[in-house]
Amino acid sequence: MAKNIMIQGTMSNVGKSILCAALCRIFRQDGYRVTPFKSQNMALNSFITRDGCEMGRAQVVQAEAAGIEPDVRMNPILLKPTTDVGSQVIINGKPIGNMNAMEYYRQKREFIPVIMDAYNSLAAEFDIIVIEGAGSPAEINLKQNDIVNMGLAEMVNAPVLLVGDIDRGGVFAQLYGTIALLEDHERNRIKGTIVNKFRGDRKILEPGIKILEQLCGVPVAGVIPYVNLDIDDEDSLTEKFNTNTEPKDIDIAVIRLPKISNFSDFSPFENYPNVSLRYVSKTADLHQPDLIILPGTKSTIADLLWLRESGLEALIKQKSSEGIPVFGICGGFQMLGCTISDPLQTEASGTYKCEGMGLLPIDTVFWEEKIQKQSSGTITGLTGIFETLNGSDFVGYEIHMGQNVQLQNPVINAGNVYGSYIHGIFDAPEINHLILKALCEKKRILFDSLAGFDLKAHKDQQYDLLAETVLNSMDMNLIYSIIERCN
């Protein structure tokens, strides 16, 4: 039976997911069979496993760091927000319907057998399970039915490390205040704290660390520096959206839809030194990009209407008419079509049918069935600026409710407007190279100046750098002693 350790945070976005990935990598490097686990994940950035199950992207990243294939058991409950107060509920990789927040809150303890079956199954196969919490364990209005923080820690008897984010300020209050709000039996589970995203000289921090250790009664297990690593973020809290990137030789604009999902689709383009990837949410920021991408979304109709109301739809159509290529993925692909119909109110938008942008010859209809599968094949039949993609092999996955009877190929186009349901289609070096090369030729720029890029090798390098950073900043002897002592 596996031993375990759990990472909880003082709030969302303190770095729990990345620290779990770091521990997965370190334990793997030390020769252990290690797996991640998060009982309940709320995120729009998801992935489809080999057997067609949907899971949160954060656990996929952690599985990659651990050197194992993503498995839906690592994330048995996934919530994909559809509105501000409701989500699609996915159990063991399959959707069971939409629930509002209160409805799910009342029912979530009914999912404990699902959580424990997944956990126990993994525990029988691995040496160590690295568990990630969600939000904060000190949400005193939600603690009664907790299945993801201290409630889960008790169910699987896990020791806890509590992480605070010093970059946003008040880290001592974060950590001490969180522990103070816990009940005695919960407080006893915390075996150490971690100060994350630190910038500066640790010596200046030392007096505060000593006082914090006295107040909390547990050691500070590490002070992790703020580092810029290219590792997929969990959800829309990602700092990528808030970065003002200056246009470079090749400028790619991704439309930041309100319910944007699977934005990791575009990560490969971020790794070319002369390519800028900008997230745009208003007309004034679109400028004159070389490529416009419409990403996936959990609320296609609502986000299309937002695009229309914001003025971005008209501007994108104008840019398209001027010859700037447009590429839609999944929900963005559907928006580019002629019509979108939702007769069963699958998206619960209140709109049963709306006109699309009219740039691609497809009509989308939402039915109850959700398409979830990994996909591979060869691109054929394209014309326009990206016709050089013909003959290129792709590997990716599909997650969508809408269906289109007109589709014959994995990627279609009308002029310089392209669309596909394939998430991850840009990951293949051949495909992203050919896209960038075509954009370079249009601008009369030498493609060689962008430099080559190997995504798999790059990911491995980033995970190793992450592990090295944490190893140099964390007391791993303490971590191993906590695992041994508490399991």
For residue 215, what is the domain's CATH number? 3.40.50.300
Q: Quick one: 408 and 470 in the same domain?
A: no
Q: Quick one: 160 and 276 in the same domain?
A: no
Domain contains 450: no
Query: Alpha carbon 442 to chain centroid distance?
Result: 33
Q: Quick one: 146 and 184 in the same domain?
A: yes
Contact 137, 164 (CB under 8 A): no
At residue 236, the pLDDT reads 45
79's CB contacts (< 8 A; 6+ apart) are 40, 41, 42, 43, 87, 88, 89, 90, 104
Specify the number of domains making up the chain: 2
Q: Quick one: 326 and 196 in the same domain?
A: no
Between CA 360 and CA 375 the distance in angstroms is: 22
At residue 456, the pLDDT reads 79
Residues carrying an active site annotation: 330, 423
pLDDT in tens, 436-465: 999 999 999 887 767 666 777 888 999 999
pLDDT in tens, 141-152: 888 889 999 999
Domain contains 239: no
| Of 235 and 225, the one with more pLDDT | 225
Q: Quick one: 209 and 100 in the same domain?
A: yes
Give yes or no for residue 134 having a pLDDT over 60: yes
Residue type, position 314, single letter: A
- Cross-strand pairs, 402: 366
Give yes or no for residue 244 having a pLDDT over 60: no
Q: Quick one: 227 and 254 in the same domain?
A: no
Mean pLDDT of 175-203: 95
Percent of the chain with pLDDT over 70: 96
In angstroms, the Cα distances linking 32 to 4, 129, 438, 445 are 12, 10, 45, 48
Between CA 142 and CA 105 the distance in angstroms is: 8
Q: Quick one: 278 and 197 in the same domain?
A: no
User: Cα dihedral sign for 398, 403, 407, 411?
Assistant: negative
Domain contains 454: no
Mean pLDDT of 53-75: 96
Q: Quick one: 328 and 428 in the same domain?
A: yes
* The pairing of beta strand 190-198 with beta strand 260-261: unpaired
Between CA 361 and CA 306 the distance in angstroms is: 22
In angstroms, the Cα distances linking 331 to 191, 201, 232, 255, 361 are 44, 46, 20, 12, 15
Domain contains 411: yes
In angstroms, the Cα distances linking 277 to 172, 178, 273, 398 are 36, 37, 11, 23
Domain contains 466: yes
At residue 5, the pLDDT reads 98
Domain contains 455: no
User: Cα dihedral sign for 221, 224, 230, 236?
Assistant: positive
Q: Quick one: 226 and 310 in the same domain?
A: no
Domain contains 124: yes
* The pairing of beta strand 94-100 with beta strand 86-91: antiparallel
Mean pLDDT of 241-258: 84
In angstroms, the Cα distances linking 487 to 129, 240, 454 are 11, 38, 40
The domain that contains 257 carries what CATH number?
3.40.50.880
Between CA 28 and CA 35 the distance in angstroms is: 9
Q: How many CB atoms lie within 10 A of CB 217?
A: 10
Contact 134, 42 (CB under 8 A): yes
In angstroms, the Cα distances linking 147 to 76, 306, 443 are 12, 35, 54
Q: Quick one: 166 and 259 in the same domain?
A: no
At residue 242, the pLDDT reads 62
Least confident of 167-171, 253-257, 270-274: 270-274
pLDDT in tens, 365-390: 998 888 999 999 999 999 999 999 99
Domain contains 245: no
pLDDT in tens, 79-99: 998 777 788 999 999 999 889
In angstroms, the Cα distances linking 362 to 3, 76, 352, 357, 402 are 51, 34, 17, 11, 11
Tell me which DSSP letter residue 339 carries. Answer: E
pTM attached to this predicted model: 0.83
At residue 368, the pLDDT reads 82
Element (H, E) at 70: none
Q: Which domain holds residue 144?
A: 3-231+461-486
Q: Quick one: 206 and 158 in the same domain?
A: yes
Q: Quick one: 217 and 271 in the same domain?
A: no
Q: What mean pLDDT, rounded, does the chain reach?
A: 92
Contact 39, 191 (CB under 8 A): no
Q: How many CB atoms lie within 10 A of CB 437?
A: 18
Mean pLDDT of 15-36: 97
